């Protein structure tokens, strides 16, 4: 099986690496560019027109590699249908700047394909010992000639977990190279942990899919790192969070480990949501309250911000491979406290030291 794992990663990387420059060429030829002179929202920190079609090479890589290396069962069919939904949505958003609520509804549709295929969260590990069962109550339904069972709590939890991670990870694409680097590290972490349970044959598919995900975003990274030639866009951003959420359900990593690996984006998103709601702002409209915006305001370059996210994710991923459930919980809480204190310090004492360097945004 080891050669399949390597080939899956290499093929995903190669397809993404080859399709990305083609996407850049086509978008430029058609004039489908994100021009900062026309899009004046403060969250837009790039200074020259850039195509936003990152979802195209990533999706094609994921689709091709998955169909080659994974069996097309009902679970993969559900995952791919959800991915197609986000892929189409991403292309439309590249051109039309869709309303965030439309994008949110489409995200729920993508998650519905996954949950409808039978992927759910029947239990979560109790960090203080044992497990918390989510498989009750169950509602039997006779659909399409077959008896099916809806696990109400498990399915609802999976539904909102997928949509939340999908959006929170998407929010962490503010600077060049930030998103794909985080996704590569998170994918490799999930693959490594799933591989440690290789005696369970069901984990082989999870490991392969995690490596395909990592390969697809690694192939995209050279074109997205500073100075970016293409943006991730909504397509690549949501596909990343969507697949990481699904992998965390399918693998032995479960929710706790995924929360830890993606600790910085998730904790940052939680604070952003809280602040938006506190001031009466819509929670889904973009702003400049994210951690990467704060770091840029302190004078950090885009390269430095991206590498900071990569290093933080790598450290948390390493810890996730070695810590127990209770230790993971305390690590996440400690991360939240540290980030909260930084944001409080920034609000009360920090002054902008943004440097006159185009890499600073």
Look at residues 217, 236, 232 and name the one whose alpha carbon lies nearest to residue 313: 217
Look at residues 255, 283, 262 and name the one whose alpha carbon lies nearest to residue 157: 255
Look at residues 56, 49, 54, 103 and name the one whose alpha carbon lies nearest to residue 84: 56
Rounded distance between C-alpha atoms, residue 166 and residue 83, angstroms: 11
Q: Is 126 labeled as ligand-binding?
A: no
How would you label 167-184 residue by residue, b for 16+ Cβ within 10 Å and e otherwise?
bbbbbbbbbbbbbbbbbb
Rounded distance between C-alpha atoms, residue 299 and residue 141, angstroms: 58
Cα 131–Cα 133–Cα 136 angle in degrees, nearest 5: 175
Rounded distance between C-alpha atoms, residue 149 and residue 246, angstroms: 20
Backbone φ, ψ for residue 308 (5° rounding): -60, -45
- Is the torsion defined by CA of 359, 12, 254, 116 positive or negative? positive
Structure tokens at 181: 């680097």
Look at residues 254, 244, 251, 239 and name the one whose alpha carbon lies nearest to residue 80: 239
Per DSSP, what are the bridge partners of residue 123? Answer: 133
Look at residues 39, 14, 15, 21 and name the one whose alpha carbon lies nearest to residue 229: 21
Residues contributing to the annotated binding site for Mg(2+): 170
Residues contributing to the annotated binding site: 170
């Amino acid at each position: 099986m080891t050669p399949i794992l390597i080939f899956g990663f290499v093929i995903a990387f190669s397809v993404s690496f080859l399709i990305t420059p083609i996407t850049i060429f086509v978008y430029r030829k058609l004039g489908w560019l994100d021009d900062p002179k026309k899009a004046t929202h403060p969250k837009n920190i790039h200074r020259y027109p850039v195509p936003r079609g990152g979802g195209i090479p990533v999706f094609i890589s994921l689709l091709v590699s998955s169909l080659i290396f994974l069996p097309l069962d009902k679970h993969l069919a559900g995952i791919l249908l959800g991915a197609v939904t986000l892929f189409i949505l991403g292309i439309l958003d590249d051109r039309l700047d869709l309303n965030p609520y439309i994008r949110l509804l489409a995200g729920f549709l993508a998650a519905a394909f996954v949950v409808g295929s039978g992927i759910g969260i029947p239990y979560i590990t109790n960090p203080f010992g044992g497990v918390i069962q989510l498989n009750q109550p169950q509602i039997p339904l006779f659909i399409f000639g077959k008896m099916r069972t809806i696990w109400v709590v498990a399915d609802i939890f999976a539904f909102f977990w997928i949509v939340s991670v999908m959006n929170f990870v998407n929010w962490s694409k503010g600077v060049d190279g930030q998103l794909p680097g985080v996704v590569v590290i998170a994918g490799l972490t999930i693959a490594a942990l799933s591989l440690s349970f290789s005696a369970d044959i069901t984990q082989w598919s999870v490991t392969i899919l995690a490596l395909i995900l990592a390969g697809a975003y690694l192939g995209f990274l050279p074109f997205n790192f500073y100075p970016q030639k293409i943006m991730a866009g909504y397509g690549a951003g949501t596909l990343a969070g969507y697949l990481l959420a699904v992998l965390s359900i399918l693998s032995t990593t479960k929710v706790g480990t995924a929360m830890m690996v993606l600790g910085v984006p998730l904790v940052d998103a939680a604070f952003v949501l809280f602040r938006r709601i506190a001031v009466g702002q819509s929670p889904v409209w973009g702003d400049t309250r994210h951690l990467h915006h704060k770091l840029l305001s302190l004078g950090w370059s885009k390269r430095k911000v991206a590498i900071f996210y990569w290093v933080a994710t790598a450290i948390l991923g390493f810890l996730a491979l070695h810590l127990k459930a209770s230790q993971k919980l305390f690590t996440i809480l400690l991360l939240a406290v540290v980030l909260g204190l930084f944001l409080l310090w920034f609000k009360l004492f920090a002054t902008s030291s943004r440097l006159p360097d185009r890499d600073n945004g």
